[in-house]
Amino acid sequence: MYTVLRFLHLFSAFAFFTIHGATAAAMFALKRERDAKRVEGWLIIRDFATKWMGIPLAILFISGIVMGFMGRWWNQTWIWLAIGVFLAISFAMSGFGRPYHDRLWHAIDPQGHAPPTKKEKRRSSPATTEEIVGLLAKGRPMLLTVIGVVGLGVILWLMMFKPF
């Protein structure tokens, strides 16, 4: 049973990173875009991938928790640190990425997408090209990439070497 769970854990990780690659590609592509229709296309790709990556992410998390019980690792520090890093990555990615995309969506399609925060007022018309370019400049794809890659490296190190 443990081998099956480990397979599911690894397979779901690969599936998650494959799907998540579309959001990363969209984030980097958005930095170079200036055309509102193309920006909308990248946002559609990002939203589609975001919708589906939750499934392998849930399998990854649940299989890791179950394997923690099977391996009797809950009294070891490494598993708690790995979960903490996993959650920190998730919150950081959502905290930096989601508001950026929500602002872009609202600027491009104000009737179809609400403002990203309650403090922001609903736009009555789509943003100008200059406003969209200004929003695009605020994206931080490299920051999100560093957070994800470094965090993944820490989690892998903790899982493989179980140092604590």
Percent of the chain with pLDDT over 70: 100
Say which residue the tokens 């708690």 belong to: 80
| Gap between the Cα atoms of 141 and 26, Å rounded | 9
Closest CA to 144 of 51, 16, 21, 45: 21
Q: For residue 151, what is the enclosing H or E element?
A: helix 141-161
Closest CA to 138 of 154, 148, 127: 127
Residue boundaries of the structural domains of the chain: 2-161
Is residue 46 a contact partner of residue 22, using CB atoms and an 8 Å limit? yes
Closest CA to 164 of 80, 99, 59: 80
pLDDT digits (tens, 9 = 90+) for 108-149: 998 888 777 778 888 889 999 999 999 999 999 999 999 999
Read out DSSP for 47-102? HHHHHHHHHHHHHHHHHHHHHHHHTT-TTSHHHHHHHHHHHHHHHHHHHHHHHHHH
pLDDT digits (tens, 9 = 90+) for 47-80: 999 999 999 999 999 999 999 999 999 999 999 9
